[in-house]
Amino acid sequence: MKAIFAAVIAAIFGVAPATAASAAPTTVTHPQWSRNAVIYEVNVRQYTPEGTFKAFARHLPRLRDLGVDILWLMPIHPISEEGRKGTLGSYYAVRDYYGVNPEFGTMDDMCALVDSIHAYGMHVIIDWVPNHTGCDNVWVKTHPEYYARNAKDEMYGPYDWTDVYKLDYKNPAMRRAMTDAMAFWLKKADIDGFRCDVAMEVPTDYWNEARIELQRICPDLFMLAEASNADLTEHAFDMVYNWPMKDLFNAVAATAGEYTFVAPGESAPRKYEEKHAIDIASLALGQREQFPADAYLMNMVTNHDLNSWEGTEFQRYGRLTSAMAVLSFTLPGMPLIYTGQEAGMDRALQFFEKDTAPDFESNPDMTSFYKTLAALKHSRRELRAGAAPSFEPIDTGNKDVLMFRRTNADDVRSYTLVCVNLGKDDVLVSLPPDIAYSQNIIGANISATDFSEVQGREPAPSSIGVTFAPGGYIIAPVDR
């Protein structure tokens, strides 16, 4: 039966379903606490009017109650003055890898924050900028040989980044210094790992070596790469960005007429290739083959880059926003929540100036929505990241409707069914009869079906018809 189902899926989506990948196996051992985790990105500068570690610490009980497991602090280091952008500068122009941005507080404040995070049962990683430094980083004077040079023998910044200089990873001493700096934070502040900026610009062999050394200090080390390269998950990183899925979400929303963000200097929204919900299934299946079986992908509807530069989730997804968030929590991988997302923040935060996020208590319905998704992520083994849980698309006959099961190989009678309408029209969908065994159906923007009439019915109905409006979704945990 399983072989027949696999053949059907292959015919529909052009790739076979997979519970394990065909890529090289990973040697990375994930912390057990990361399996069903929700990660949350903290923009310390904008989080509170004070913009300090101490002020942010007041939010820890709320974040714990939201269902957050891992806090990712955006860069905490002093920011360079030379070439500074705006008044406060970019977090990613680091002046001193061993220092703390005085804007946020002191080293003691940072260490106290980490202790408090751990006391609330959460873990913390800090943003690390290994590819480049600020133009007046201490290394510029003490170790100019650490930097890459252009044809004029000048230090230079990657891309169009005028406030940083690129580091030279062909220099063994520089590599040693970078690993030493990372090790300092594991020892001094007792952090749990790093989110590594533009990790794909740093040689993979460096990351492979650094992982081994850093894990000797922190056995439960967690490493997140700002990259989507599969090879980074073979020996170095627990998780990479799911950029391809983010781009596909944008394209699907644009096809549905929901993408309205107009970039500065442009007169109309960006044009995307036509994509539909079923393309999300194809990508997810393909990624199971591309990545090591136990690799994590980070799914997101927003983050600091997207919010500040590419539009809010509401500008990019419109009526589909909640459905996209549902997918970020239920597709293979780990979901990200960015500062203010849980409160429905509908504006871009400035990047180089003080711009306090809106009141986190201002949208209790949105907060409840994310709290529900986090609780689901925690409670369902089939939604854990990494190896074992399968992703099984179900054909609905409509390219704008994505329906799938997440199951465990060791318990196929318990699974989570997800269905979303990512098109521009209402759609009648026949849900599988097993939904009658779900005791906790989560849904929105669907017809007023009284699921209580079919829950637990024996025999189960042959199918259950539900009309989904654009952006409508259902999540049904099934235990038979």
Report which of residues 25 and 458 the model is more confident about.
25
- 478: which residues sit within 8 A by CB, 6+ positions away? 414, 415, 416, 417, 434, 435, 437, 438
pLDDT band, residue 463 (cuts 50/70/90): confident
Q: What are the tens digits of pLDDT across the range 307-364?
A: 999 999 999 999 999 999 999 999 999 999 999 999 999 999 999 999 999 999 999 9
pLDDT of residue 20: 44
Q: Above 80 in pLDDT, residue 90?
A: yes
Q: Above 60 in pLDDT, residue 443?
A: yes
Topology of the domain comprising 393-479: Immunoglobulin-like (2.60.40)
% of the chain beyond a pLDDT of 70? 92
Phi-psi category of 456—alpha, beta or left, where left has phi over 0 and alpha has psi -120 to 50? left
pLDDT of residue 435: 84
pLDDT band, residue 434 (cuts 50/70/90): confident
Domain boundaries, the chain: 21-389, 393-479
pLDDT of residue 9: 40
Comparing 18-22, 72-76, 151-155, the range with the smallest average pLDDT is 18-22
**Arithmetic mean of pLDDT, 414-433:** 95
**How many whole angstroms from its chain centre is CA 337?**
7
- Global pTM value: 0.94
Comparing 93-97, 223-227, 279-283, 465-469, the range with the smallest average pLDDT is 465-469
pLDDT of residue 16: 42
**Arithmetic mean of pLDDT, 113-117:** 99
**Arithmetic mean of pLDDT, 438-451:** 83
CATH hierarchy code of domain 21-389: 3.20.20.80
Q: Above 80 in pLDDT, residue 131?
A: yes
Residue of 287, 215, 213, 214 lying closest to 248 (CA atoms): 287
CATH topology identical between 21-389 and 393-479: no
pLDDT of residue 210: 99
Burial 52-77 (b: 16+ CB within 10 A, else e): bbeebbebbeebeebbbbbbbbbbbb
**Arithmetic mean of pLDDT, 36-50:** 99
pLDDT band, residue 244 (cuts 50/70/90): very high
- 340: which residues sit within 8 A by CB, 6+ positions away? 349, 357, 358, 360
pLDDT of residue 181: 99
pLDDT of residue 147: 99
Report which of residues 36 and 436 the model is more confident about.
36
Comparing 17-26, 231-240, 380-389, the range with the smallest average pLDDT is 17-26
Q: Above 80 in pLDDT, residue 459?
A: no
Q: What are the tens digits of pLDDT across the range 271-309?
A: 999 999 999 999 999 999 999 999 999 999 999 999 999
**Arithmetic mean of pLDDT, 103-118:** 99
CA distance 239 to 226: 9
Q: Above 80 in pLDDT, residue 64?
A: yes
Q: Tokens 């990375």 — which residue? A: 28
**Arithmetic mean of pLDDT, 189-217:** 98
Q: Above 50 in pLDDT, residue 230?
A: yes
